[in-house]
Amino acid sequence: MSESDNTKITATSHFSDKGQMSIYQLPGAVPYGETALPLLAPDVAFADQARSDKSMMQEANMNRGESESFIATRGLIGQWNTAEIMLRAWVDPIKWKGSDQFRSHLGIPLVAEQFYSIHSVVNQTLFGGYRIFKIDATSGTPIGCAEAQEALLNAELKTCGFMGVSAKTEFREITFDGIFYGFGVAHYGWSTIKKDVIKKVRRNTDDTIVVGDSNVITIPRPEDDDDIEDKVIGSVEINTPILNHVPIRRCRYAPDLRRGDPRTATWFGRIIYATGYELDDMRRTKGWNIPTREQLVALMVPQMMSETPTNQLDTLGANTGSPIFQQAATPQKAFPENYSGRVQHDPLARKFELFDYWTGFRHCIVLQNEYCILNETHKFGRPPFLGFCFRTAPDSAHGYGIAFWLTDFQRICQGIVNAFMDDLNLNLMGTYTTPAGANNTGQAQWIFPGKVFKNDGEKKVEMMTRNSIGAKEPLMVIEQVKQWASSISGAGPGTLGSNPGAAGDMRTPAGVAAIQGGETVKMQDLIDVISEQVFMPFLEFCIEHNQKLKPSQIRAMLSTELGTAFQTTPLDILNGTYRIDISAGTKLAAREALNRYIGILQSFIQSPGTVENLAAQSMKIDYNGMFSALFDTYGVPYREKIVVPMNDDDRAYRQAQTQQAAMQGKAGIEQLKGEVKQKVDNNQSENRMLLETGKHTLKQQGVAAEHQNAIELQDKAQAQTPEAEGLNRAARSAFTKMDSVAFPSS
């Protein structure tokens, strides 16, 4: 058995039992009642002046109380509770009056259908693409710096969320609250921590012994590959951005906030919870006033002397003051943090409440309303919170969530379906009449399936007849309600995966285009709001604070492939200026346009003369840019692996092909010149031959013409002699006699 197997772990006492204490007994703590007193002249200060811990606690606690009162009196908590019930599609079971039978209580998840469809489309549009954002270099900044900055942001987004999760996971929570409740909020910041660098090293392989007074003899040990240990060889500073979702019931804000953007608030805060272990870790950060370990033990062991207060927004407006018994909304909902004593039997793992309070230039954190653990100024210039509304409400921080409008629609559907099922149940089970006899009652009778009514008619049991409701009528009403719901929410066929309206709406191209166009515009607007108010400001914050990164940290964050690809230095990356382009901001509209006009674009690009006409105007088609646009719009990954730069062999082969083509072209030109010259000579010879032939022909034609003229002159001369004239007269006289004999006159 090895030596480690024989080792026994024995408990040691790190803390002595000196009794327990409450929060207000900590040095510097202020009882909660005293923090409700108004601030006096010695308590206030301007932005460049310090404030006392007590005055900051007073301000934070009183503002928090005003915010909770404002939210409760506006009925927001009741709306949230109702929305959760609608999401579950819960219908309270009710019995038929006068019977032990339950009426139909089916739920129609209209809110869930619309909400989860929109939620999925929004998140897939934001983060479903291969390149969710693009960093462009401004003038004076090399393109390689923009590519490196983009790689840094992608690396930071993988771990910037709560407990090291990705930004994509945090955005799912943020968009959940924004779409469902109407207000989604996130807190952003920058974290700087130091971490030990530990490496595996071999143990000391030599033993030394001292012989005599000063003789040291080294005895080497045999090497053992498994004889290793961890050794701290240094420390490294890790800087990273933080993006944390703030649940809607933990937000506190100035009641005069008039838009769904926390950056415009005069103050904004959140409730967070921290265990004793987490408070102890905060001690390492400069400026934090954390109780000592002995004080934490006295506060928490064996029980918390100052109970964690209940979050008022978890219980106000509910049917019970205990969140444990709020089963109607969400039965599987986790215990609230003030019940951590029931789930954490390690006393130090129980949770304290912290109120994280921010103004435009001050920041403080209050421990359970009585102790200030942080009081500082900051340089954000505004509360570091981001948020958006699903649908904006006039002069209101909280907008309208999807359940705000669809709750009534879902109730209509549930009421119609359950009424139809009740009617069907009555018809299937039947109701009957029977002779009253002496046991007749004069009280009102309630109907339910199987009910038997007493009457004074014939003495027999017979079934009562009822007019049943046709199944088509409820379905038509539900179809119309779903169409209304889709018109309000913006979830059309592309989002829901089915047509929420009438069947004929999708039969014509015009109908399809109208429905898709309206859906695209509404969804595009929602994506733009989230991008402009949450995603882009956070990326801009990350780029700004990446200036704090050391060059060694930049090299460590960039992978080996990126380091070889980017021909730039970390200093160039830090000193560059950039512009952010969110792919999701234009992806939906661009994809719709490409789907509609891709055939026309293809025909135009391939048509003859396009390249020549562009060249006439000193322009050309950038096919690499065209491929990039198509890949980015459709979200096709691995473009850089499909369209890649030429290597040296490719360039040499391309150059050889070009030179060969040039030589072939030169030889072709020379050959063409010879052929042209030969054709010219042949044409000249033919022309000379034709010329001579023409001359000879003209000469021959001239001789013939002269001979013909001579004959005609000779004939004319002979016709004028007396003999010729006598012959002509004799001939005319003979013809006249022949005519008179042949045609005698009457």
Model confidence pLDDT, tens digit, residues 227-272: 777 888 877 777 889 999 999 999 999 999 999 999 999 999 999 9
Q: Read off the pTM.
A: 0.75
How many domains is the chain built from? 1
- Integer Cα distance of 613 and 7 in angstroms: 86
pLDDT confidence band for 450 (50 / 70 / 90)? low
459 lies in a domain?
A: no
Report which of residues 491 and 595 the model is more confident about.
491
Round to whole Å and give the CA distance between 407 and 60.
36
Q: Other CB atoms closer than 10 Å to residue 455's CB: what's the count? A: 12
- Is residue 245 in a domain? no
Judge whether 269 lies within some domain.
Answer: no
User: To the nearest whole number, what is the mean pLDDT of the chain?
Assistant: 80
DSSP class of residue 6 equals G
Picking from 77-91, 365-379, 722-736, which range would have the lowest pLDDT averaged per residue?
722-736
Whether residue 657 lies inside any domain: the answer is yes
User: Is residue 661 domain-resident?
Assistant: yes
Q: Which pLDDT band, with edges at 50, 70 and 90, does 633 fall under?
A: low
Domain extent for 709: 648-735
Terminal C-alpha separation, the chain: 169
725 falls within a domain:
yes
378 vs 7, higher pLDDT: 378
Mean pLDDT score, 67-86? 90
Per-residue model confidence (pLDDT) at position 324: 45
Nearest to 451 by CA among 434, 436, 468: 434
Tokens, residue 335: 């215990």
Confidence of residue 675 (pLDDT cuts 50, 70, 90): confident
| In contact, 74 and 182? CB cutoff 8 Å | no
Per-residue pLDDT band for 67 (boundaries 50, 70, 90) equals: very high
Higher pLDDT, 11 or 665: 665
Residue 378 backbone dihedrals phi, psi, to 5 degrees: -140, 170
302 preceded by a cis bond (ω within 30 of 0): yes
120-178 pLDDT tens trace? 999 988 887 777 888 888 877 887 788 888 888 988 899 899 988 999 999 999 999 99
Q: Do residues 298 and 20 lie in contact, with contact meaning Cβ atoms separated by under 8 Å? A: yes
pLDDT at 2: 44
> Residue 189: beta bridge partners?
242
373 DSSP 8-state letter: E
> What pLDDT is stored for residue 321 in this prediction?
47
